């Protein structure tokens, strides 16, 4: 089972990148950093010139994955422009790299809710493209103090909750992908 994770944030100290990286490390998966991919804001004029190299790279990772875990920050109660833009670009690559892909959605925020409100909107954006978005989702609250140096969650209860969610998701994904 090839697991790929990425985050809907670009900055190097992103809490969501730490979450996505930590999960990839614990499962032998691969974390993809969107920042160096320099994906432009979607513009049909750019698309006329060809799909940008960063989108082609992301599409390759997504296509090769049996399961995806995406950690998205919450901006103003919803999905970040970075993540929505990446999804929009991926929807322009044919055949669709996201088609039938099992996805688990996570979020991390310094706030008390862990960014979970955004995940309902993120779910919609992926489901429209034919992804199997796992019913369970998890937000990491107070995320600025939630991780150790290995990007593992410090709080044991939350760490176990995340492990159980990821295991259940991967078992589900393996049933879908056969």
**Cβ-based burial of 175 (10 A; exposed 0-12, middle 13-18, buried ≥19):** exposed
Tokens standing for 83?
Answer: 């993540």
What is 132-160 written as a DSSP string? EEEEEEEEETTGGGSB-TTS-BSSHHHHH
Facing residues of 153 across strands?
147
Q: Which of 85, 109, 122, 151 touches ligand FMN (CB under 6 A)?
A: 109
Size of the site for ligand FMN (CB under 6 A): 16
Min dist CB 32 to ligand FMN, Å, is: 14
By CB under 6 A, the residues from 138 to 157 that bind ligand FMN are none
Candidates 25, 30, 42, 110; binder of ligand FMN (CB under 6 A) is 110
122 binds ligand FMN (CB under 6 A): no
Instruction: Give the Cα separation of 76 and 95 in Å (integer).
Output: 33
* Residue with Cβ nearer ligand FMN (111 or 136): 111
Among 76, 94, 156, 157, interactor with ligand FMN by CB under 6 A:
76
Residue 97 binding ligand FMN, by CB under 6 A: no
Which parts of this chain interact with ligand FMN (CB under 6 A)?
A: 7, 9, 11, 14-16, 73-77, 109-111, 113, 115
């Amino acid at each position: 089972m090839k697991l790929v994770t990425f985050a809907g944030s670009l900055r190097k100290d992103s809490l969501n990148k730490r979450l996505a990286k930590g999960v990839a490390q614990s499962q032998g998966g691969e974390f993809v950093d969107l920042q160096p991919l320099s994906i432009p804001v979607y513009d049909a004029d750019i698309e006329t010139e060809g799909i940008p190299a960063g989108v082609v790279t992301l599409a390759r990772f997504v296509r090769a994955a049996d399961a995806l875990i995406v950690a998205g920050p919450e901006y103003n109660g919803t999905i970040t422009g970075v993540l929505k833009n990446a999804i929009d670009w991926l929807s322009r690559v044919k055949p669709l790299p996201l088609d039938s892909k099992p996805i688990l959605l996570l979020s991390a925020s310094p706030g008390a809710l862990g960014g979970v409100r955004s995940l309902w909107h993120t779910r919609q954006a992926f489901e429209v493209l034919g992804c199997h978005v796992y019913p369970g989702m998890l937000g990491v609250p107070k995320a600025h103090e939630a991780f150790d140096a290995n990007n593992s969650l410090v709080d044991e209860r939350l760490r176990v909750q995340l492990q159980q969610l990821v295991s259940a998701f991967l078992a589900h994904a393996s049933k879908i992908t056969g």
